[in-house]
């Protein structure tokens, strides 16, 4: 029997067993990424039927290939349709279904633990469970964009670090709940951004951790609120997203380090929180206008 706790594949329950949802190995996987509560797989496989199984987490699927037939059966209902490129499947945790792909397909699969969707809830409502209304082949441009952005970031080696992926997953959680949640999240009065004391705590945390991975949840906890509402209020306060703010602070630190001739460009990149020099060079040029080498030469 396969181990349900094995983190390397998206698994479902079939009877007493826990098995990989998709056949064969994924062509791309986030199993080794720092994303918390989310596992993405990209697959290209031939005709396949996934017999009756139960989803252990919330599940989203994006169809990537040319139009292909699709058959599903779940909770006493069944249907068949043609999935075009960009078609979305949404399944809530605990759902039992059978699906069949009579022709070869390419698709992105994403498992989401409940804590990821709770990011979209107000801070005083994060304890309740989340349930989604199943969708068997709908078009949703926003979800498609987010899944493709996650795929691209993963394919490039996560150059934006954990915070970029966290921000995408938070945006996905909001979209799923507002569009397909059994209960929509309550609207919260926005105000005029973060209170100054909370904003100061968050900025102090960022400055103290610029050379490390920074998680959106850690910033939200520092501010004392849920991730989604923190992101909204933070942007109101400083006029950029948390990810962009951290990126600019890292570039500012790198510029100060480059002013010291004893600090190598590689060392400046690492001490500023960039995982590799190529991404550092790309981001530095985008924000400053020149490469780190050219910047140093002009001093």
Average pLDDT by stretches of 10, the chain with 299 residues: 57 94 93 93 96 97 96 95 97 96 97 88 64 96 98 90 93 93 68 89 96 94 91 94 95 96 94 90 94 93
Question: CA-to-CA distance for 87 and 66, rounded, in angstroms?
Answer: 10
The domain limits of the chain are 11-180, 196-239, 245-297
Question: CA-to-CA distance for 272 and 263, rounded, in angstroms?
Answer: 12
| CATH architecture type of domain 11-180 | Sandwich (2.60)
On whether the pTM is more than 0.85, the answer is: yes
| β-bridge mates for residue 175, sequence order | none
Amino acid 141: pLDDT: 97
Phi and psi, residue 177, nearest 5°: -70, -40
In degrees, rounded to 5, the angle at the alpha carbon of residue 50 between the alpha carbons of residues 44 and 55 is 100
Amino acid 276: pLDDT: 84
Pick the CATH number of 245-297 from 1.10.3720.10, 3.40.50.970, 1.10.10.60, 1.10.760.10: 1.10.10.60
Question: CA-to-CA distance for 23 and 13, rounded, in angstroms?
Answer: 15
């Amino acid at each position: 029997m396969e181990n349900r706790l094995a983190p390397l594949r998206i698994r479902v329950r079939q009877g007493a067993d826990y098995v990989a949802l998709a056949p064969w190995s994924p062509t791309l996987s986030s199993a080794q990424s720092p994303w918390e509560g989310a596992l993405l797989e990209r697959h290209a496989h031939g005709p396949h039927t996934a017999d009756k199984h139960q989803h252990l987490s919330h599940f989203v699927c994006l169809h990537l290939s040319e139009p292909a037939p699709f058959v599903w059966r779940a909770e006493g209902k069944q249907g068949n349709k043609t999935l075009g490129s960009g078609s979305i499947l949404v399944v809530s945790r605990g759902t039992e279904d059978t699906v069949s792909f009579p022709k070869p397909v390419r698709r992105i699969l994403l498992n989401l633990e409940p804590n990821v969707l709770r990011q979209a809830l107000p801070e005083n409502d994060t304890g309740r469970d989340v349930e989604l209304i199943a969708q068997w082949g709908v078009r949703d441009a926003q979800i498609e964009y987010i899944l493709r952005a996650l795929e691209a970031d993963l394919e490039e080696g996560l150059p934006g670090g954990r915070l970029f992926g966290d921000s995408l997953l938070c945006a996905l959680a909001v979209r799923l709940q507002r569009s397909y949640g059994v209960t929509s999240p309550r609207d919260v009065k926005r105000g005029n951004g973060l209170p100054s004391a909370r904003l100061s705590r968050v900025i102090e945390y960022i400055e103290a951790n610029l050379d490390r991975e920074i998680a959106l949840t850690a910033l939200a906890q520092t501010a004392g609120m849920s991730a989604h509402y923190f992101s909204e209020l933070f942007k109101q306060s400083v006029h950029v997203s948390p990810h962009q703010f951290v990126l600019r602070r890292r570039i500012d630190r790198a510029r100060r380090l480059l002013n010291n001739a004893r600090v190598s460009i590689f060392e400046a990149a690492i001490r500023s929180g960039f995982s590799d020099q190529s991404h550092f060079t790309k981001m530095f040029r985008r924000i400053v206008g020149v490469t780190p080498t050219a910047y140093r030469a002009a001093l």
